[in-house]
Amino acid sequence: SVGGNICFIDFLRVSDQPSRGLRHILSEKQYDRFGYGYSTEMNVVIKILKQVIDNSNLADLNSNVTVMIENKKILVDAPYVSKWSDFLQGYFTSNMREKANGIYPINDCSLVDFIEMLAVIYPSSKPIDESNVERMIDIADRFLMPMLTRKCELFLSQTSSHGITEIQMIDMADRFNLVRTRTIVLQRLCSTKLLRSKILKTKGYKNLSKEMKKSIDARYVQLDVIERGQ
C-alpha cells in the first residue's frame, strides 16, 4: 500500500533465485504508477515475509506427481507445492500405498478450487481477489498453508481494492482464526457509531463465536471510554 512517499511491499520468497526486478513483484497497474512520476520521490521498502528453503525430505520426490480429485487426474509440481503446504508435504513423502501407486487422491476439495490454488501459488501468481479469497483461505486452512493465508490476509487488509464488508471480513477471521484480519478490521472501526453500524447491527453478528464477540465488545468499551473522555 502507498502512504506518503513510502511504498511498503510484502512478498513471499519461495526459492533462492534472484528477483527479476520490481515488475516481477508488483502488478502491472502498480508498476505503471512507479513509471508515471512516483519513482523519483518514493522509497521502496521490501519486506520478505518468509523464505522457504529446500527440505531434504523432498529429495526423493519426482518433479511431478499425479493428484486425483473428483475422478480427474492432474499433475502437480510436488517439491514446489510442498514448500507451501505442510499437509501436502507430509502426504507426498509418506510411505502409504498412494506413493506406491503414484496417484494421490484428495477428498473434501473441489477440482476447481484446487486448480485455482495452484494458479495462485505457482510462479505465474494469479492475484487474490474477491472471487477467490474466501475459497483460498478455506484451502489454506485445509492443507496447512500459512503463506497462502498470509497472502489472503494482505489482500483483505487493502480495503480500497475490494468491496468485502467489515462483517464479512470479521466472519472469515472468526471461522479461520485470522488474527491479523480481526485486528485490522477492529482497529479501523474507530468510533462506537461505526462499530455499531458495521458490525453490531448487522445480520451476521449473531452468527459469530463467543470469542469473537468478546473481542468486539472489548473494542467497543475501549472506544466508549475514549469518546467519553473527549
Indicate the domain borders of the chain: 2-51, 56-132, 167-229
pLDDT value of residue 40: 38
CA distances from residue 44 to 27, 36, 99, 157, 199 in whole angstroms, order as listed: 15, 15, 45, 19, 35
- 43 forms bridges with which residues in the sheet? 6
CATH 2.60.40.10 fits domain 56-132: no
Q: Is 199 exposed, middle or buried (0-12, 13-18, 19+ CB in 10 A)?
A: buried
pLDDT value of residue 230: 74
Three-class secondary structure of residue 158 per DSSP: coil
Whats the size of the chain, residue-wise?
Answer: 230
- What letter represents residue 2's amino acid? V
The segments of the chain whose pLDDT lies below 70 read: 1-62, 98-100
pLDDT value of residue 62: 60
CA distances from residue 134 to 51, 91, 145 in whole angstroms, order as listed: 25, 24, 14
- What letter represents residue 12's amino acid? L
The answer to whether residues 54 and 46 touch, using CB atoms and an 8 Å cutoff, is no
pLDDT value of residue 43: 45
Q: What is the pLDDT of residues 168-191, one digit of tens each?
A: 999 999 999 999 999 999 999 999
Q: What is the pLDDT of residues 44-75, one digit of tens each?
A: 444 444 444 344 444 455 678 999 999 999 99
